[in-house]
Amino acid sequence: MRARTTLVWVCGVMGVLAGVAFGQTFSQSFESDAVGSAAGWSGGQRWFDPTPGAVAAVTSTDSVSPSNSLSVTDPNGTGFFVWRDYGGLSSDGVQDITVSFDMKVSNYGDNIAVSPFAYNSSVWGGDTGGSGGFGWPVNTNLTVENIFSYYDENAGSITMLDSTVVGDLRGQWIHWSGTVHPVARTADVAVTLLTGPSAGATGSVTGAQFQYGVASDYYGGAMDALRGLVIFNPASASFSGGELLIDNLRVVVPEPASLALLGLGGLALIGRRRSR
């Protein structure tokens, strides 16, 4: 009977530790989403002023992995704002969070801001940080100067891909991947060209600071409420005839650190049982 009890404890604890080690994942390749559907994405002019101005719809006309992707357009020809939650997952303010996806953009009149680690208390609940109801500590941009950059509060804009070196970034599929380190308040981000003459070219930053509020810890407790991503073009900018395509979204959010402590507590209990 004692052996069976111990086995149950071991299996349970190993399951907990496996969850801690590999985390929870959310992925969306749009293959199982109906063409024309929003597939869980929402759009507007701006997140904090969601006037209709962005339409998200699954398309089968272009993709990285066959045969669907998400198309975001702005019928008003101004700017757009699109967002997606992590499928109900949330950060815990301690362990790293990783996001990756593929994107392709054309015909934009201002920077396309790409911020895959976001919080918004009115949309998703959770802490607000020093910024109030919403924020995104990691800000990368596909700029009108045709470069892909990361914005660091101390270092300023850091170029990751430059069209003068790798060719035109507009109309090319680009793979974006990044990890946020909530405790250090830093991020690692890499972008890779998937198409075009310079396919395979890559650029990255490692241990970069957040976009602002580093000294004041502007984002505060909201590091435990990173629950989605936002991508936007300023509402005053022209996006007439433009399109943003998104494919192969993948999010890895570790289990809360408290579960790791629970697992360690279980191992300690097993050790005590064996010592008797």
* Reduced 3-state DSSP string for the chain: CHHHHHHHHHHHHHHHHHHHHHCEEEEECCCCCCCCCCCCCEEECECCECCCCCEEEEECCCCCCCCCEEEEECCCCCCEEEEEECCCCCCCCCCCEEEEEEEEEECCCCCEEEEEEEEEHHHHCCCCHHHCCEECCCCEEECCCCEEEEEECCCEEEEEEEHHHHCCCCCCCEEEEEEEECCCCEEEEEEEECCCCCCCCEEEEEEEECCCCCCCCCCHHHHHCCCEEEEEECCCCCCCCCEEEEEEEEEEECCCHHHHHHHHHHHHHHHHHHHC
Examine the domain organization and report whether 93 and 216 are in the same domain. yes
The rounded percent of the chain whose pLDDT value lies above 90 is 64
Examine the domain organization and report whether 16 and 39 are in the same domain. no
Q: Are the CB atoms for 230 and 45 separated by under 8 Å?
A: no
Examine the domain organization and report whether 202 and 66 are in the same domain. yes
Other CB atoms within 10 Å distance of the CB of residue 139 = 21
The burial class, CB within 10 Å (0-12 / 13-18 / 19+), for 122 is: exposed
Contacts of 139 (CB under 8 A, 6+ apart): 113, 114, 115, 150, 151, 211
pLDDT of residue 98: 98
Examine the domain organization and report whether 73 and 36 are in the same domain. yes
Examine the domain organization and report whether 18 and 28 are in the same domain. no
What is the rounded average pLDDT of the residues 218-228? Answer: 93
Examine the domain organization and report whether 271 and 172 are in the same domain. no
Whole-angstrom distance, CA of residue 233 vs CA of residue 66: 27
Examine the domain organization and report whether 91 and 199 are in the same domain. yes
pLDDT at residue 123 is higher than 60: yes
pLDDT tens by residue, 4-13: 444 333 344 4
Q: Which two tokens stand for residue 120?
A: 């918004």
Q: Which of 42-46, 107-111, 134-138, 271-275 has the highest mean pLDDT?
A: 134-138
Examine the domain organization and report whether 43 and 140 are in the same domain. yes
| CATH number for position 176 | 2.60.120.200
Examine the domain organization and report whether 267 and 142 are in the same domain. no
pLDDT of residue 48: 76
Examine the domain organization and report whether 16 and 130 are in the same domain. no
Examine the domain organization and report whether 116 and 100 are in the same domain. yes
Examine the domain organization and report whether 70 and 14 are in the same domain. no
pLDDT at residue 62 is higher than 60: yes
Whole-angstrom distance, CA of residue 262 vs CA of residue 244: 43
Q: How many domains does the chain have?
A: 2
Range of the structural domain that residue 127 is part of: 24-254
Q: What is the pTM of this model?
A: 0.86
Whole-angstrom distance, CA of residue 152 vs CA of residue 185: 11
pLDDT of residue 22: 52
